[in-house]
């Protein structure tokens, strides 16, 4: 499962100097193409609502082999999302399109990062592809 948080539905039009011009649908298509090449299927989702994201994480625990999450701004604020990720025992990677460490100081700390197996930041939308590859390597080596 690939979960996308708040405002990521606006990709391609929101702060293009930071996030680029690719839409979320283009990111989804990129991920689907990569997943198909790996003989995987993906469930690609987005929500602006914190509770919905928590529900998705809990659902992934029971239905999926791995989770990629871009919590967006919730990475810096949501203890509840962090708790849901901690309770989720499948492989998990956090992705951020921009390099959050080069942005506003409040974005430098991800409270959700400690609840996942790895974090990919600042690689643009290719971070999602790197996350799929990282999940494959993690599962191969376990």
In the chain, the percentage of residues whose pLDDT exceeds 90 is 84
Number of domains in the chain: 1
* 86-114 average pLDDT score: 89
pLDDT band at 85 (very low <50, low <70, confident <90, very high): very high
Q: What is the pLDDT of residue 35?
A: 97
Residue pLDDT, tens place only, 54-76: 999 999 999 999 999 999 999 99
Nearest 10 degrees: Cα torsion 114, 119, 122, 123: -170
pTM over 0.75: yes
Instruction: Please give the residue range of the domain that contains residue 15.
Output: 2-140
* 25-53 average pLDDT score: 98
For position 6, which CATH number holds? 3.40.50.9100
Q: What is the pLDDT of residue 79?
A: 97
Give the residue numbers marked as catalytic.
19, 96
Q: Is the dihedral of CA 77, 128, 7, 84 positive or negative?
A: negative
* 72-93 average pLDDT score: 97
* 24-34 average pLDDT score: 98
């Amino acid at each position: 499962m690939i979960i996308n948080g708040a405002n990521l539905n606006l990709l391609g039009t929101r702060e293009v100097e930071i996030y680029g011009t690719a839409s979320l649908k283009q990111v989804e298509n990129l991920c689907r193409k990569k997943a198909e090449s790996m003989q995987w299927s993906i469930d690609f989702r987005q929500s602006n609502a914190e509770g919905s994201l928590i529900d998705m994480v809990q659902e992934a625990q029971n239905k999926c082999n791995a989770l990629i999450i871009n919590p967006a701004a919730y990475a810096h604020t949501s203890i509840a999302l962090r708790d849901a990720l901690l309770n989720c025992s499948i492989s998990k990677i956090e992705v951020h399109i921009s390099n959050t460490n080069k942005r506003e100081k409040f974005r430098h700390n991800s409270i959700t990062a400690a609840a996942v197996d790895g974090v990919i930041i600042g690689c643009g939308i290719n971070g999602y592809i790197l996350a799929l590859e990282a999940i494959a390597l993690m599962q191969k080596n376990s």
